[in-house]
A and B are shown apart, each in its own frame.
Chain A
Amino acid sequence: MDAYLIFSNENIWSEIWPELSLALGALFVLGLDLFRKPGSSTSLCGLVAIGFQAILLGVHLFDYLVWHHTFDRDTFSGMLTQGIQGDVMRSFFLFSSLLVSVLGNQYLKNKSLRSGEFHHLTMLATAGLMLLSQSNNFVMLFVSLETVAICFYTLVAYNRNSSKSLEAGIKYLIFGALSSSLLLFGIVLLYGVGSSPEAWGAVFDGAEGQDPLGFQYIGNLIEANPDHLLLRAGVVLIIAGIAFKIGAAPFQIWVADVYHGSPMPITAFLAVSSKAAGFFVLISLVNGPFLGMCDFLLPLFGFVATFTILFGNLASCAQQNLKRMLGLSGVAHAGYLLVAVMASMHFAGDSDRAIWVLFFYLFTYLLASFCVFGVMSLARLEDETDHEFFHYENLAKKHPWMGFVLVCGIGSLAGIPPFAGFIAKLLLISVAFEAKLYFSLSVMIIGVAISIYYYFGWIREITFHPKPSFSDDNDQNSPVIWEKGSYGLFKPCMISLAIISLVLGIWQGPFGDAF
């Protein structure tokens, strides 16, 4: 008994209470689903999931803002590390998961799909994401990444009545598994050199008893041998694996297909949480263990960012299908964020500013993406994956609030002045300028200019009547029916998201002081 007590005291389980309670809540939702009356239309599970996550988010924010300020420390024998940045990301993932549940509740009701497993998997994926943002060891990194990925494979294929959803699930599974194998091979190379440096011609006077898979150890090893071939190969493979997750070129091929086929709330979840997790892992790796290889990695990142930005923007210009267009423009956003990662590598040792800019960008991206995907999930099309521009014709007149939310979302994604996306892009450009990344900066500005073309085309469809209409036309040119009836919680949520992204564009409040 005493041994257990010592074990639990040493590991400080209380540090991961949000993850534990989220996982327990997920199990509770799954259990509740068993007692659902067949044929009943109210989704108790959805409401419980939303309420639970809202309370958890509130308590979590309160916990680390008011009750006890977190300080940097390692728990679970160096497996996890807690700090302010990890806590910000944990709140980010909780918030995003709450919004996915809100969207999913409405979506599943319209599509009459089962709701229990959806919320269960969303919450489990979020618990994995939250652990991922604290991981301090490559085993932990891999296991939490896979927890997230396996939940996502199932969620992408959640709409089992649609072949497209299943196909997207299979594609995501194959590409995801491929990318995690690459990541794993990289980890193994680092481990191989780290566990016996002399055998591979590396110099390292490693401290005894340190974990050769921990970030600290690998960081010291890489700093001692920045030119070692196997270490370089390992680092490149790990970064390739993460580039798959964030959809950076040349690993972006899956993005359009998977976004196209997956259910709308999951597209939003993929766009926001999965990408944010990839970026957080990337930025903490390049500023932590891989810092010694900065000189080697910077040109590589520069190439990847340039290619990603140009590919994403040019490919989305040609798209008629809106979900594919949003996926490809998400690739372009990943390219902009890679510029922030590069900037953080330039300020070695003092990368906080670039990291906070990245957080702010991700937060505005979250608000904008949920605005856009939320409104899109209300369209009742024959095939829900085929949203095209003309479906949105004159939406602002037909349903003013949907038009408002959608225009706010698109405007923020495009980065037009009154919206938060503009401030985020401005901060990103200023930080890239400080880091003297002039080439990437010019590519980024060209990319933003191209993106205005396709985003504004969509706004034009929403707000104006591009085609002349005649009185003897029967109203057939807009075959889309928008969901009517009670939106319940959904409508105020969407409108407040749009208003937040409008307000953040004008007044950044406490965020503004951070810069």
Chain B
Amino acid sequence: METITPQHFLILSFLLFTVGFLGVLIRRNLLLVLMSLELMLNGVNVALVSFSRTSLNLDGSLFVFFIMTVAATEVAVGLALLVALYKRRRSVFSEDTALLKN
């Protein structure tokens, strides 16, 4: 029977990261962009946890907690900004936020 090796986890994590990355680039709803950013960070977490488990080194698992905290604060700030923007503009779509053009 084949076992799941860290290589598989790395591929999974890379796929999650890529999906998130493409989501940030392609999605036009800013809420979904924030979700895609979360997906990228969680893809990183998958790789970290699996590396940490296979090498029996706890640093990676600890790092995951820092990443989760950072992701939470990022979303808190992002949602606050989005609510403030929505109150002024009545829209969360990126094509409606195009005041900053030369």
Q: Could you tell me which A residues sit within 8 Å of B by CB distance?
A: 139, 142-143, 146, 150, 153-154, 157, 160, 163-164, 166-171, 173-174, 177-178, 180-181, 184-185, 188-189, 191-192, 195-196, 199, 211-213, 256-257, 260-261, 319-321, 324
CA distance A297 to B88 in the complex (A): 46
Are A213 and B6 in contact, CB atoms less than 8 angstroms apart? no
A-B Cβ contacts below 8 A, count: 129
Given A163-B85, A199-B6, the answer on whether A213 and B44 have CB atoms closer than 8 Å is: no
| Cβ-neighbour of B100 out of A153, A167, A180, A199 (below 8 A) | A167
In the assembled complex, 21 residue pairs joining A and B whose CB atoms fall closer than 8 Å, in A order, are A142-B66, A142-B67, A143-B66, A146-B70, A150-B74, A150-B77, A153-B74, A153-B81, A164-B100, A168-B100, A178-B40, A181-B17, A181-B21, A181-B37, A191-B60, A195-B54, A195-B60, A196-B6, A199-B5, A212-B57, A260-B100
Are A173 and B48 in contact, CB atoms less than 8 angstroms apart? no
| Residues of A contacting B73 in the complex (Cβ-Cβ under 8 angstroms) | 146, 150
Instruction: Return B57 CB to nearest CB of chain A, in Å.
Output: 5
Q: A142-B66, A212-B57, A213-B59 are in contact. List 10 more A-B contacts (CB 8 A).
A: A139-B62, A166-B85, A166-B88, A177-B74, A181-B41, A181-B44, A184-B44, A195-B54, A196-B51, A319-B102
CA distance A188 to B47 in the complex (A): 7
| Residues of B contacting A191 in the complex (Cβ-Cβ under 8 angstroms) | 48, 51, 59-60, 63
Determine whether B29 belongs to the interface, using a CB cutoff of 8 Å to chain A. Answer: no
User: Most B CB atoms within 10 A — which of A164, A169, A192, A257?
Assistant: A192
- Chain A: interface secondary structure? helix
Determine whether B84 belongs to the interface, using a CB cutoff of 8 Å to chain A. Answer: yes
| Residues of B contacting A143 in the complex (Cβ-Cβ under 8 angstroms) | 66, 70
Are B37 and A174 in contact, CB atoms less than 8 angstroms apart? yes
Are A177 and B37 in contact, CB atoms less than 8 angstroms apart? yes
CA distance A39 to B24 in the complex (A): 42
| Residues of B contacting A213 in the complex (Cβ-Cβ under 8 angstroms) | 59, 63
Are B100 and A196 in contact, CB atoms less than 8 angstroms apart? no
Instruction: Return A284 CB to nearest CB of chain B, in Å.
Output: 20
Are A211 and B59 in contact, CB atoms less than 8 angstroms apart? yes
Given A143-B66, A154-B77, the answer on whether A178 and B24 have CB atoms closer than 8 Å is: yes
| Residues of A contacting B12 in the complex (Cβ-Cβ under 8 angstroms) | none
Determine whether B30 belongs to the interface, using a CB cutoff of 8 Å to chain A. Answer: yes
Instruction: Return A283 CB to nearest CB of chain B, in Å.
Output: 24
Q: Could you tell me which B residues sit within 8 Å of A by CB distance?
A: 5-6, 10, 13, 17, 20-21, 24, 30, 33-34, 37, 40-41, 43-44, 47-48, 51-52, 54-55, 57, 59-60, 62-63, 66-67, 70, 73-74, 77-78, 81-82, 84-85, 88-89, 97, 99-100, 102
Are B21 and A178 in contact, CB atoms less than 8 angstroms apart? yes
| Residues of A contacting B97 in the complex (Cβ-Cβ under 8 angstroms) | 167, 170-171
Are A199 and B88 in contact, CB atoms less than 8 angstroms apart? no
Are A163 and B37 in contact, CB atoms less than 8 angstroms apart? no
| Residues of B contacting A171 in the complex (Cβ-Cβ under 8 angstroms) | 97, 100
Are B84 and A160 in contact, CB atoms less than 8 angstroms apart? yes
CA distance A185 to B41 in the complex (A): 8
Are A188 and B59 in contact, CB atoms less than 8 angstroms apart? no
| Residues of B contacting A150 in the complex (Cβ-Cβ under 8 angstroms) | 70, 73-74, 77
Instruction: Return B83 CB to nearest CB of chain A, in Å.
Output: 10
Are B102 and A324 in contact, CB atoms less than 8 angstroms apart? yes
Are B10 and A192 in contact, CB atoms less than 8 angstroms apart? yes
Are A167 and B57 in contact, CB atoms less than 8 angstroms apart? no
CA distance A180 to B98 in the complex (A): 24
Are B24 and A174 in contact, CB atoms less than 8 angstroms apart? yes
Given A174-B24, A195-B51, the answer on whether A157 and B66 have CB atoms closer than 8 Å is: no
| Residues of B contacting A173 in the complex (Cβ-Cβ under 8 angstroms) | 74, 77-78, 81
In the complex, the 7 A-B pairs of residues with the closest C-beta atoms, listed nearest first: A195-B55, A196-B55, A181-B40, A192-B51, A257-B100, A146-B70, A177-B37
| Residues of A contacting B51 in the complex (Cβ-Cβ under 8 angstroms) | 188, 191-192, 195-196
| Residues of B contacting A160 in the complex (Cβ-Cβ under 8 angstroms) | 84
Chain B residue with Cβ nearest A161:
B88
CA distance A41 to B84 in the complex (A): 26
| Residues of A contacting B44 in the complex (Cβ-Cβ under 8 angstroms) | 181, 184-185, 188
Instruction: Return B78 CB to nearest CB of chain A, in Å.
Output: 5
Chain B residue with Cβ nearest A140:
B66
Are B74 and A167 in contact, CB atoms less than 8 angstroms apart? no
Instruction: Return B62 CB to nearest CB of chain A, in Å.
Output: 8
CA distance A154 to B77 in the complex (A): 7
| Residues of B contacting A195 in the complex (Cβ-Cβ under 8 angstroms) | 51-52, 54-55, 57, 59-60
CA distance A164 to B84 in the complex (A): 12
Instruction: Return A368 CB to nearest CB of chain B, in Å.
Output: 23
Given A170-B97, A213-B59, the answer on whether A188 and B81 have CB atoms closer than 8 Å is: no
Instruction: Return B88 CB to nearest CB of chain A, in Å.
Output: 5
| Residues of B contacting A170 in the complex (Cβ-Cβ under 8 angstroms) | 30, 78, 81-82, 85, 97
Are B6 and A192 in contact, CB atoms less than 8 angstroms apart? yes
| Residues of A contacting B88 in the complex (Cβ-Cβ under 8 angstroms) | 163, 166
| Residues of B contacting A166 in the complex (Cβ-Cβ under 8 angstroms) | 81, 84-85, 88
| Residues of B contacting A257 in the complex (Cβ-Cβ under 8 angstroms) | 100
Are A163 and B99 in contact, CB atoms less than 8 angstroms apart? yes
Chain A residue with Cβ nearest B89:
A163
| Residues of B contacting A181 in the complex (Cβ-Cβ under 8 angstroms) | 17, 20-21, 37, 40-41, 44
